[in-house]
Amino acid sequence: MKHLILVIFSIFILSSTLVAEPTISSSGTFLEERFGDRIEIFGIKFKGPLVLCQILIAILMAITFLQSAIDKIVDRKGNLAFFESHFATSPFNGFTSLLLSILTMMELMGGLMLVYGIYYAFAERATLWIFYGFVLLALTIIALFTGQRLAKDYVGAADLIPYFILLMMGIMSMY
């Protein structure tokens, strides 16, 4: 009986919390209503909170993918040995050198697009190049995910999902 009362009480509390509508006071409580185009951090003005989020995601992804691409360039022999052993029993066996080159170029181009996009966001106050970088890196992660799944490295494939979700959030925040 105690459990039934607890369940009913929980459902009542949760349903009233989830159904509650936010109210807007006449003084304006939303960030954009209060500050408009005046969001400023360390003296740098941002068009709005979404632009700030797009730039921060772009910084994180640029660091991640540029480091990965540079590592693949600097230690190509080590990365190629890893790819050959990792994809030995997959349909990609025999294509690892080509695939490593394609992956390196995709990571490098996506990372550089984001770096340029960050500059462009400050210089022109537009995040178009960040959008292009996000799309290219999302395609890169899809390629990585496909390779991991075909190599039966399910844990490695699952590790890519948070990056993909972050990129999707960045893309969806554009519009």
Instruction: Give residue-wise pLDDT tens across range 78-121.
Output: 999 999 999 999 998 989 999 999 999 999 999 999 999 999 99
> Whole-prediction pTM value?
0.76
Higher-confidence position of 161 and 122: 161
Where does 42-95 have alpha helices with state H?
Answer: 49-74, 76-86
As a whole number of angstroms, the distance between CA 20 and CA 47 comes to 30
Distinct helix (H) and strand (E) counts, the chain: 8, 2
